[in-house]
């Protein structure tokens, strides 16, 4: 699991600013700090955007996919042109790869 760690760099924080700048001030779907729902969901999108930009220099770049069941995160990731899979869709991809269709 350690090799899958994605550090929070200044570039990732720059993407986080970009993501959050598209969220209206009164919109509580993505982050609701007052209801104790201040999850790292926008940071997931920022990491995927950073990874996509970083890997863009390769001829055959890997695809960065956001996997989530959260509709607000799905919407935000799609807004930035990221591929999104639900939890069930991701599980199906894993099962198919393991030959468990």
Note the pLDDT tens digit of each residue in 82-100.
999 999 999 999 999 888 6
This prediction has a pTM of 0.84
Model pLDDT, residue 36: 55
Number of helices (H), then strands (E), in the chain: 4, 2
**pLDDT confidence band for 18 (50 / 70 / 90):** very high
Q: H helices of the chain, where? A: 10-20, 41-55, 71-79, 87-97
Note the pLDDT tens digit of each residue in 37-62.
656 689 999 999 999 999 999 999 99
């Amino acid at each position: 699991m350690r090799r899958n760690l994605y550090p929070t760099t200044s570039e990732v924080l720059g993407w986080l600013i970009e993501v959050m700048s598209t969220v209206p001030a009164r919109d509580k779907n993505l982050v609701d700090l007052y209801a104790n729902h201040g999850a790292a969901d926008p940071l997931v999108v920022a990491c995927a955007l950073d990874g996509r930009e970083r890997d863009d220099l390769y001829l055959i770049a890997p695809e960065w996919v956001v996997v989530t069941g959260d509709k607000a995160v799905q919407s935000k990731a799609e807004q930035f042109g990221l591929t999104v899979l639900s939890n069930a869709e991701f599980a199906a991809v894993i099962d198919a790869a393991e030959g468990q269709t």
